[in-house]
Amino acid sequence: MKLIAVSLAAMLWLAGMVTTVVPRTPQNEWKADSIYTIKIPAGYRDWKLISVAHEAGKLNDLRAILGNDIAVNAYRAGKLPLPDGAIIARLAWAYTPSEENNKAFGNPQSFVAGQPTNVQFSIKDSKKYTLSGGWAYAQFNQGQSINVAVNATCFACHQAVKDRDFVFTKYSH
């Protein structure tokens, strides 16, 4: 039943149905609480770069993964699990062809960051978020927190990298 619930959450996420309400079982009750208490961390746009990525498919974005000092210092030192206080910010923008760049390169090869899509945060607190590996997740669209379903589906998906403290992104030197 647990596996089915996780799979369902993952499927909803993959289908982009992020506003769908996940059934409130005891398993995800904590997520409903935690998401409402998470605010956008001050100054995150100034944080250091961890890495970059491109998600094709329905997401179709270019993304930057930034970290606060606690996160970046741990990454650089190769320390896992990340310490309490670490926050990872994932910024994403529409994957946008650049006509200007293509003209300069003489080839239709250049894709740049268009309009921002959303910002996600992974916040480490091993004492507070005990039911989800020490992590809380939040997503903000145009500065507004979106509903509980995202937080539930985040953790389900991050199970794939449980042996790396549930963190997908590796540091890019």
Tell me if 107 contacts its own copies by CB under 8 A. Answer: yes
- List 3, 42, 56, 77, residue binding its own copies (CB under 8 A): 56
Residue 17 touches its own copies, criterion: CB under 8 A? no
Nearer Cβ to its own copies, position 116 or 125? 116
Counting residues that bind its own copies (by CB under 8 A) gives 43
Identity of the residue numbered 119? V
Q: At closest approach, how far in Å is the CB of 114 from its own copies?
A: 9
* Calpha distance 88→138 (Å, rounded): 11
**93 in contact with its own copies (CB under 8 A):** yes
Residue 3 corresponds to which tokens in the numbers above? 């596996």
Which residue bears the tokens 């809380």? 136
Say how far apart CA 151 and CA 173 lie, in whole Å: 29
Q: What is the dihedral of CA 77, 167, 81, 134, to 10 degrees?
A: 140
Residues binding its own copies (CB under 8 A): 10, 14, 45-46, 48-49, 51-57, 59, 62-64, 66, 91, 93, 95, 98, 100-101, 103-107, 109-113, 116, 157, 160-161, 168-170, 172-173
